[in-house]
Chains A and B, each alone.
Chain A
Amino acid sequence: MSQTPIPESENVSRRDFLKVIWAGLGGAALLEVGGVFLAYLQPRLAEGEFGSIISVGAVDDFPPGSVTHITNGRFHLARLPDGGFLALYHRCTHLGCTVPWDQAEGRFVCPCHNSQFEVDGEVLNPPAPRPLDIFPITIENGQISVDTGRPVTRQHSDPSQVVYA
């Protein structure tokens, strides 16, 4: 029976140990700096402007089957014929142009690349890859408010997204 020598790599020398510690500390410092950097660059929000919760008005101000553009909220408030509400971000899901409501056509038509959307935001005509984004709506005591903090992306329009008074 021959004796197998202990492989040298199992012996961690003091130098190698310190090397690993220094490399680890350096890496941690780099991550921290990166984290600070990213956190510092996060978007800043202003109260009462786009990005905050915006009061739109009373439910009865919006007749069923109407689309109203809320300028300071950057969205269209669509009231579907059945009385349900949707707050549709007016930014085209293709390349970010502002999509106006075309009353005559009864649809949203993007001027940039001719994407078209139904009143509930569903895509009628590409190149838009998905329906218009929506903002969460809250209705309390007949007053509508919309949280424009973060648009909700969706792959398809769905009745569960509609909010009723």
Chain B
Amino acid sequence: MNETPSDNIIQRMRARLWPNGLPRDDRGRMRLVVNNLILHIHPAKVSMRAMRWTYTWGLGGLAAMLLVLLGSTGILLEINYTPSAPQAYLNILELRSNVWFGELIRNVHHWSANLLVVVTVLHLLRVFFTGAYRPPRETNWLIGVGMLLLVLGGNFTGYLLPWDQLAFWAITVGTSVLTYVPLIGDALGRLLLGGPEVSGATLLNFYSLHISFIPLAIFGLMSFHFWRIRKDGGLTNPRGVDETEKVKLERVTTIPHLVRRELVYALVWLAAILVWAMLVPAPLEGIANPDLSPNPAKAPWYFLGLQELLLHFHPLVGAIIIPAAFFIGLALLPFYDVAAENVGVYFRSHRGRSLTVLATGLSLVSTPLWVALDEFVLHWADWLPAWPSLVSNGLVPLAVVALGLILMDEWVKDSFKATVEERVLFLFTFLFVAIFILTIIGIFFRGPGMSLYWPWAMPVVSH
């Protein structure tokens, strides 16, 4: 018998599958990064400076980690779920009371999904405020905007699946917006809902979208997104306002410097999400009842800014024109704001920083003021009774708001001698803070009949 170690099947497998073993030097570490399917999304060496965590805040990586977490908990949830009404709701009750760790898995899925919306938006803000979408990174910005829409779509379709009152009416209100799309709105709504209103057919449609189309599309775009980062020369490097761009930057091997940071960051977030999911249960109300709308009926929280717009504009303007304009503007940003300098500088310049603060302050004051004015003082439809409500309650107030924005932009241009990139910064900041405020008002200040209340004086709602 001639037994050498290479004859042992375990050792033979190891020699074939992992010929180099653990790397012992930088060369080996770099080769491992290049030759490994998952690790090769990173370059072999990274700039020490781009890893400064107060620059990226690790938001893109966190979003990717949340997607993995959502995928794995999602598969577990599928095993205990039937996409039919009313069985779906009974499954959720069963999951909470009769399945080992069922409640925990559901909570992790629910909170990760909500966190993903926040993290995706913060990631977008980081990229915007550091100018990291400028040439040659326009394509990746577009992919990112696409993924933001998919993340919202994934959240929205998942929202219906528990089939409780909250789910049913949030989706009813959310999808009714579609019927205001000119010409094809009704057909589009019927197609998505599988009928004229939310029903068992809708549940099945949303389930299919939620577990196959949307995850696949996100996975495809995410791979594309990672690939483009490498193609575009890696992350942008952070710089101080007055710092000139350094030609030579210190570079270190990805293993261990970047990978170790990523693992620690992921682990800390995982722990935080687990603790949160153990302490705060995902909401679940009574079983869906199509005959009884709760008062108030609110869309999911990330659409409450949109729902707030609906209270002030004709639905065609509030739900279609304004959001479409916003997303088209978002997609066009890197093709408009093309200055190649200041990439990596938070808020562009000294003047940019002042303008960001100014825009935030102005928006913080004027948005609630406008909401209150429109609620209590401005009655467009009553003042212009001869005109259709699309004009009196839609286009006229839209024109007033647009005029306000144009005047503000002119003022910034004249008084601050702002450049194009600084004006873009000002307007984007103003609009983003406005959306944020509208969302806050929608979540905390709207009560029964969608009237305004102070959060501490909110009447108790019965369902």
Min CB distance, A152 to chain B, in Å? 12
> Contacts of B291 on A, CB cut-off 8 Å?
69, 71, 90, 98
- C-alpha spacing A27/B176, complex, angstroms: 33
Known pairs A43-B201, A112-B173; A129 contacts B314 (CB<8 A): yes
> Contacts of A97 on B, CB cut-off 8 Å?
169, 172-173, 293, 297
Q: Which residue of A lies closest to B172 (CB)?
A: A96
Q: Evaluate contact between B449 and A111: CB separation under 8 angstroms.
A: yes
> Contacts of A74 on B, CB cut-off 8 Å?
197, 290
A51 at the interface (CB under 8 A from B): yes
Min CB distance, A99 to chain B, in Å? 8
- C-alpha spacing A16/B269, complex, angstroms: 59
Q: Mark A74-115, 1 if CB is under 8 A from B, else 0.
A: 100000000000000011001111110000000000111110
> Contacts of B381 on A, CB cut-off 8 Å?
126
B380-399 CB contacts (< 8 Å) to partner A: 381, 389-390, 393
Count of chain A residues with a beta carbon within 8 Å of a chain B beta carbon: 28
Residue in B169, B173, B311, B448 whose CB lies within 8 Å of A127:
B311
A151 at the interface (CB under 8 A from B): yes
Q: Mark B39-54, 1 if CB is under 8 A from A, else 0.
A: 0000000000000000
> Contacts of B175 on A, CB cut-off 8 Å?
96
B190 at the interface (CB under 8 A from A): yes
B323-361 CB contacts (< 8 Å) to partner A: none
B294 at the interface (CB under 8 A from A): yes
> Contacts of A42 on B, CB cut-off 8 Å?
191
Q: Which residue of A lies closest to B191 (CB)?
A: A41
Q: Evaluate contact between A43 and B310: CB separation under 8 angstroms.
A: no
- C-alpha spacing A151/B189, complex, angstroms: 14
- C-alpha spacing A98/B169, complex, angstroms: 9
- C-alpha spacing A126/B197, complex, angstroms: 21
* Best-surrounded residue of A38, A91, A96 (most CB of chain B within 10 A): A96
- C-alpha spacing A91/B290, complex, angstroms: 10
Q: Evaluate contact between B197 and A96: CB separation under 8 angstroms.
A: yes
**Which residues of A line the B interface, CB within 8 A?**
38, 41-44, 50-51, 69, 71, 74, 90-91, 94-99, 110-114, 126-127, 129, 150-151
What are 11 A-B pairs with beta-carbon distances under 8 A?
A38-B191, A41-B191, A43-B190, A51-B196, A69-B291, A96-B172, A96-B175, A96-B176, A96-B197, A111-B293, A111-B294
Q: 9 tightest A-B contacts by CB?
A: A96-B176, A111-B295, A97-B293, A112-B297, A95-B176, A114-B449, A43-B195, A96-B172, A95-B173
**Which residues of B line the A interface, CB within 8 A?**
169, 172-173, 175-177, 179, 190-191, 193-199, 201, 290-297, 310-311, 314-315, 381, 389-390, 393, 448-451
A sample of 15 more A-B contacts (CB under 8 A), given A69-B291, A96-B198, A112-B450, is: A38-B191, A44-B194, A50-B199, A94-B315, A95-B172, A96-B173, A97-B173, A110-B293, A111-B295, A111-B448, A112-B296, A113-B450, A114-B449, A114-B451, A129-B315
